[in-house]
Amino acid sequence: MTPMQYIQEHMQYWQVGKGLLSIHLDTVIVSVVLGSLFCGMGIWAARRATSGVPGRLQNFFEILVAFVDQQVRESSHGRNRLIAPLALTLFAWIWLMNFMDMLPVDLLPRLAHLFGAPHFKAVPTNDLNLTFALSVSVFLLMMFYNFRVKGFKGFGREVLSRPFGWYAAPINLMFRLIEDLAKPLSLSLRLFGNMFAGEMIFVLIAALLPWWFAWIPGLGWTLFHLLIITLQAFIFMMLTIVYLSMAHETH
């Protein structure tokens, strides 16, 4: 297998169906398994939770919950019961999916081949479908809260009169459109781009370097990438919190 073929092999999804009605089974399976893992452990921790001396699992989840809750408290004034759990889910889920990048680059594909998958991309955040699914969900929630908190008239007034005043209403509208559409776009593309590049570098290391040397840059990139996956998960969560709390604020 030439390096080119190896790289192309790693670029392909396990796709079932054609065109718009197709589905990436690798993305869906890995993401649902990881999300269920997180939710399952969370529920387990909550079931056995006590207000007395907490166990290790409860401690771990309390750290996560307290951390996210603090972030939400600091950036959002109104208390919306959805924002904090949503942010926690985003952070944990994205981090877990990014973490698939830390596994050896051929581990999951080889395993999947055993079960008859023709191709397998192990990192679900390395799929625009998933990153857009997240960012579009956030965008829809943003719009929902904009209308619900400010009402149709209030939101319309904000869109048309800011930032240049009523006389520049068309320009204001255009600004706002670009601004709001840029939010989900940047959210999803930033995450996708980082994970795509990270995965690509692992693939290149594995494809181009001899096996007895590949582990040195591989180890270095793994350590560095560990920072990136955490940072990307955190950025996605923080921006979501900021966007959703902005949707609640009347200027």
Partner 1 sequence: MNLDLTFVAEIIAFALFVWITMRFFWPPLMRMMDERAKKIADGLAAAERGVRDLELARERAVAILHEARSEARTILEAAGQRSAELIERAEKTATEQAARELQHGREELERAWEQARLALQKDVALLALEAARQVIAQEIDPARHAALLKSVAERLQ
For the chain, where are the E strands, in sequence order?
15-16, 23-24
Out of 3, 5, 8, 46, which residue is the one contacting partner 1 (CB under 8 A)? 46
**142 binding partner 1? (CB under 8 A):** no
**127 binding partner 1? (CB under 8 A):** yes
- Residue 190 bears catalytic tag: yes
Which helix (H) or strand (E) segment holds residue 181: the answer is helix 169-208
* Residue nearer to partner 1 on the CB measure, 82 or 182: 82
Rounded Cα distance between 229 and 198, Å, is 9
Neighbours of 148 (CB within 10 A): 12
Out of 6, 7, 9, 62, which residue is the one contacting partner 1 (CB under 8 A)? 62
**51 binding partner 1? (CB under 8 A):** yes
**20 binding partner 1? (CB under 8 A):** yes
Neighbours of 22 (CB within 10 A): 11
CB contact at 8 A, 71 and 87? yes
Out of 1, 4, 21, 114, which residue is the one contacting partner 1 (CB under 8 A)? 21
Question: Tokens in use for 210?
Answer: 């001899």
Out of 6, 7, 54, 99, which residue is the one contacting partner 1 (CB under 8 A)? 54
- Residue 80 bears catalytic tag: no
* Residue nearer to partner 1 on the CB measure, 17 or 118: 17
Neighbours of 137 (CB within 10 A): 14
Rounded Cα distance between 171 and 81, Å, is 35
| CB 159, min distance to partner 1, A | 25
**128 binding partner 1? (CB under 8 A):** yes
Neighbours of 125 (CB within 10 A): 32
β-sheet bridge partners, residue 16: 23
- Residue 176 bears catalytic tag: no
**170 binding partner 1? (CB under 8 A):** no
**133 binding partner 1? (CB under 8 A):** yes
**42 binding partner 1? (CB under 8 A):** yes
Q: How many residues does the chain have?
A: 251
* Residue nearer to partner 1 on the CB measure, 89 or 230: 89
Give me the torsion for CA of 47, 50, 55, 57, rounded to 10°. 40
3-state secondary structure of 24: strand
**66 binding partner 1? (CB under 8 A):** yes
State the catalytic residues: 186, 190, 194
- Tell me which residues touch partner 1 (CB under 8 A): 17, 19-24, 27-28, 31-32, 35, 38-39, 42-43, 45-46, 49-52, 54, 58, 61-62, 65-66, 69, 81-82, 84-86, 88-89, 93, 127-130, 132-134, 136-137
